[in-house]
Amino acid sequence: MSGQMRSLLFIPGDSDKKLAKVAGCGADAVILDLEDSVTPANKSAARDKVADFLFGFDRGAEIAPQLWVRINPFDSGLAESDLAAVVPARPAGIMLPKPDGPDDCAKLSSLLDHMELAHGVKPGSIGIIPVASETAIAPFRLGDYAAAGLTRLRAMTWGAEDLAAALGATGNRGEDGEWLFTYRLVRSLTLMAAHAAGVPAIETLHADFKDESGLLATSRQARAEGFSGRLAIHPAQVGPINEGFTPSAGEVEDARRVVAAFAAEPGAGVVGLDGKMLDIPHLKAAQRTLGLAGE
């Protein structure tokens, strides 16, 4: 099982048909959803179905995705029941929707501490990814994640739809299809907050699952900006996302040459390569490229 998280595919927790396709979906991580894709009437059944699926899934396969669970938000009154059902089945982590800030992640972490202990799950093994922008107050607290001591934090992502609802907005994109200013701001703040906290930044979803060319282009752009992966809502999106967040062979070779140039001059802050002077930020960018390539 890969530690990469280029593609994170949502699967409705109450869909037998879609759960049956998880093993071959190609995503680095699958998020078994108990929240938005499940109707209130199906919440309880989805909870049981996801727990059964986790218990029965063969995670030893070479290409098995990480299995995460998006629980319901704390203010729903359902979160603790969700956790009680899935923690014994040892998911890779919990995606927390609509946190107001790192305090909500700390609350989740404390619940996981107790539940792991109660069910014989390795302490600290279940990670947390907050959808860190979905309430009106949340964007103001993004920078606080860096100093919050959240040892379970594995990545951070953002979402525009619930934020728009929280703001009473009628839309989040302009006539040109681009994010409106508020959402560009939140996206950038989430990117910076994740890096400040030392975890990957995960780009939000591309809602038009038939627009593969647009998905690939915007995924490449997101990687160039510093995002490490992206949320997906349809299996057809997994391939373009994986491609968009995987450096090309040429990029990898260039990065290797940069790293080798610095290795050849230990202690040097600046080296020359192909007639250009490169400094430490270039080395860090090259190392990041190699990390995204799995090297």
Q: For residue range 48-78, what is the model confidence (pLDDT) as tens digits?
A: 999 999 999 987 766 789 999 999 999 999 9
Number of helical (H) and strand (E) elements in the chain, helices listed first:
10, 10
CATH number for the domain formed by residue range(s) 7-246: 3.20.20.60
Strands 66-70 and 29-33: parallel
Of 163, 152, 100, nearest to 127 by C-alpha is 152
For 178, the 3-state DSSP assignment is coil
pLDDT tens per residue across span 183-226: 999 999 999 999 999 999 999 999 888 999 999 999 999 999 99
Instruction: Report the alpha-carbon distance of residue 39 to residue 32 in Å, rounded.
Output: 14
In the residue annotation, 279 being an active-site residue is answered as yes
* pTM, 2 dp: 0.93
The pair of structure tokens assigned to 272 is 């020359």
Contacts of 128 (CB under 8 A, 6+ apart): 93, 94, 95, 96, 105, 108, 109, 112, 150, 152, 153, 154
Instruction: Report the alpha-carbon distance of residue 155 to residue 160 in Å, rounded.
Output: 17
| pLDDT tens by residue, the chain, 295 residues | 457 899 999 999 999 999 999 998 999 999 999 999 999 999 999 999 999 999 999 877 667 899 999 999 999 999 999 999 999 999 999 999 999 999 999 999 999 999 999 999 999 999 999 999 999 999 999 999 999 999 999 999 999 999 999 999 999 999 999 999 999 999 999 999 999 999 999 999 998 889 999 999 999 999 999 999 999 999 999 999 999 999 999 999 999 999 999 999 998 899 999 999 999 999 999 998 998 888 8
Task: Say if residues 22 and 65 touch (Cβ distance below 8 Å).
Answer: yes
Domain ranges for the chain, please list them. 7-246, 250-292
Q: Which of 52, 103, 208, 279 is catalytic?
A: 279
